[in-house]
Copies of this chain bind each other. A is one copy, B any other.
Amino acid sequence: MILPSWLRHYRRADWPHDLVASATLVIFLVPQGLAYALLAGLPAQAGLYASIVPVLFYALLGTSATLSVGPAALPSLMTTAALASVAAPSAAGYAALAAAIALVSGVLRLAFGWLRFGFLANFLSQSVVGGFVSGSALLILLAQLPHLLGVESHAATAMGIVQGLWRHADAFNLTALWLSLAALALLYACKLGLKPLLVRAGLSPQVADLVAKASPMAVVALAGGVVAWFGLPVKQVGTLAPGLPPLRWPDADWSALASIWPAVLAISVVGFIDSYSIAQTLALRRRESVDANRELLALGLANTAAGLTAGFPVSASFGRSAANELAGARTQLAGILAALWMALILLLATWLFATLPLAVLACTIVIAVLQLIDLSILKLAWRYDRREALVYAGTGLGVLAFGVVDALLLGVGLSLLLFIWRTSQPHLAELGRVPGSEHYRNILRHRAETTPQILAVRVDESLYFANIGIVRAQLAAMLNGQPQARHLLLVLSAVNTIDISALQGLRELNRGLREQGVTLNLAEVKGPVMDQLKQSGFLAELAGHAFLSTHVAMTALGSAHPHDYAI
């Protein structure tokens, strides 16, 4: 295997920075691995397993120097949702199914990367992704409630979670609740106040920020100590067998997996888009670039590895990656070293986690996903185009109402429909001449001169089946308002394509106008469109002419021999 380019060009000066960053990564990976395994409905061990080999493999192929791939909120949530219909988290085959999802979604991404399908990332609009992530974050928050209240309840939809809580209302564990509230208060306080406090105590802002970011590990450790010391009656991680992750083919019910293929496909696609957009954000800061297809391959390999080492779907975590960068990571070596530390911990120190309370792990998830709820896109959408805000809200609420996969389909469907709808109601502008110039502008927006026997209309949309009927009706209405018009001039500078339905519509328009003694003329037809129109024979049928520019057309149509000016 060829060494990755960052390793071939490794500079010795980067080594201490990567080492420090790797220690920081471990401080994140331990509580996140435990907590996201919990979110995925898995034993804590799976989260630690997923923090070793996948991390190593991403570093070999990934193009982002600081992206931290491993257990993450979105794929864990989507794994729970995918498995909700086929197995209970307590069932024997559940862990094998989660590993199988990682394996299949990894192989899918390898295939997508090999087929250079990275461009698919473009088909999810910002409104859909924004709504989806915010809705998922809300769903994750809701899913933590059973843990905070110390009850055993697992569901993949908002309704299911609420119903589960209602059913277990008499089993709420008050100790867990008090512990959770204390942990939440502490975590929130650290998030808000620790950094300024440390800065005032003399630390550099960067170190202070890093310590504040690492506070969840301290809170979890503190909670573990308190639970052990006082013997508090709350659900705990329990004894984990020491040892490295096993290398094994997931012994899963593959027919059950086949029945949930849309969810597996969604995990592959969303995992990639989420991870890719985090990588892009990091790259933008460092003025680097990431390659979509390489990222697909790297994520595919990481997930395949997670599936073969008793893990579950992994992806990039924004918080962890940002901390890695803040800690000074220079290259992917930070991730590789972190994986080695994790292996050491699994070999020697799993006894440390036995008394960690699940409720407090859930609290760290609550604090982490709060930052995923990004309303800035929604605010922008509300100001810029309310219909996009509807797409955002529809996708977000869809996650809560119908679950992640259906919400994603709904969002994509809504955003495509919005585009179709937008283009099916085209803007038509009657043009007039800007006095003393060769420019022609919308007479409603500019002071411009018109000629009674010529109606010049700019069509502000490509013509296709969904809008040609409306365009014809609008043109007819405009002609009715200008009965002296002998020539209709369509300015096609904004028409990028004309499909067959629109071509047939233009033919009928041309025929209909000719019978009324009005000629149909075209101006500023784009090159590719002109080629198509010529080839279809439409230009030969045209009662009027095609002109290079609006000005040439207006001059010609005002003269006795317009065909002298035609192209």
Residues of chain A touching chain B, judged by Cβ–Cβ distance below 8 Å, are 119, 121-128, 284, 287, 377, 380-381, 383-385, 388, 415-416, 419-420, 422-424, 426-427, 429, 438-439, 442, 445, 460-462, 464-470, 493-497, 499-501, 503-504, 508, 511-512, 515, 526-528, 532, 535-536, 548-549
Contacts and interface: CB of A to CB of B under 8 A. Distances in A.
Consensus secondary structure, chain A interface: helix
A23 B21 CA distance: 93
Contacts of A548: 439
A423 B499 CA distance: 12
Contacts of A381: 500
Given A284-B508, A427-B528, A500-B377, A466 B122 contact: yes
A460 B497 CA distance: 9
Nearest to A392: B500
A78 to B, nearest CB: 22
Most interface-central of A501, A511, A512, A528 (chain B CB within 10 A): A501
Task: State the number of copies, please.
Answer: 2
B385 A532 contact: yes
Contacts of A383: 535-536
12 contacts: A122-B467, A123-B466, A125-B464, A125-B466, A125-B501, A126-B501, A127-B501, A381-B500, A384-B500, A384-B536, A427-B526, A494-B495
A468 B500 contact: no
Nearest to A126: B501
B127 A422 contact: no
Contacts of A549: 439
Contacts of A528: 427, 460
Nearest to A511: B284
A11 to B, nearest CB: 24
Given A127-B501, A427-B528, A445-B527, A496 B460 contact: yes
A409 B119 CA distance: 26
Contact of A438 (B126, B377, B438, B508): B438
Contacts of A535: 383-384
